[in-house]
Amino acid sequence: MGNVYGFTAGQSGATFATIVIAAILGGFTNLLQERLYAKNVAKRGSEARLYLCMVGGLLFPSGIMIFAFSQGRGHWMGPCIGLVCVSSVLLPHSSATSPASVLTSGIFPAFLRHLSHVLGGFLVSCG
């Protein structure tokens, strides 16, 4: 595979800032969604939450396509823009403190050694 864009280690690490940008955008979008919900819940009911879901329904597949078709071709910002589109839709709907997340993070180390052995030992070093 190699170094596609000619980045140093620091430059390729800086591209993870797209996730931070997406989280900030997602947070503001969530605030907008809550305002729209409070304004329209009386006449629309629970369907008042669907306004930004419709936008996300277009933004998510668009971001995946941008990421997929710009990966390794053209400018390095293409995949970053695709990741921002995808992550800004997903991040507001995930919670790091949800019970499923806490349970998964607690159980994962228990089967990590076996998973590494099954996959041929290349996943992690369990020394």
DSSP-derived secondary structure for 18-60? HHHHHHHHHHHHHHHHHHHHHHHHHHHGGGGGGHHHHHHHHHH
Tracing tokens 């400018």 back to the chain, one arrives at 75
Tokens of 68: 């997929």
Tracing tokens 């503001």 back to the chain, one arrives at 28
Average pLDDT, integer, range 99-122: 63
pLDDT at 94: 57
Total tally of structural domains belonging to the chain: 2
30/89 same-domain check: yes
Kindly report, residue by residue over 97-106, the tens digit of the pLDDT: 455 555 665 6
Kindly report, residue by residue over 57-95, the tens digit of the pLDDT: 899 999 999 988 888 788 888 888 998 888 888 766 655
Q: Which region holds residue 55: left if phi is over 0, alpha if psi is between -120 and 50, else beta?
A: alpha
106/126 same-domain check: yes
In angstroms, the CA 119 to CA 67 distance is 28
pLDDT-based confidence at residue 125 (cuts at 50, 70, 90): very low
Q: Taking 70 as the threshold, does the pLDDT of residue 26 lie above it?
A: yes
pLDDT at 62: 93
Tokens of 43: 């006449």
30/67 same-domain check: yes
Q: Is residue 40, in this structure, part of any structural domain at all?
A: yes
What mean pLDDT, rounded, does the chain reach? 77
Q: Identify whether the C-beta of residue 64 lies closer than 8 Å to the C-beta of residue 58.
A: no
Domain that holds residue 125: 96-127
Tokens of 126: 């369990």
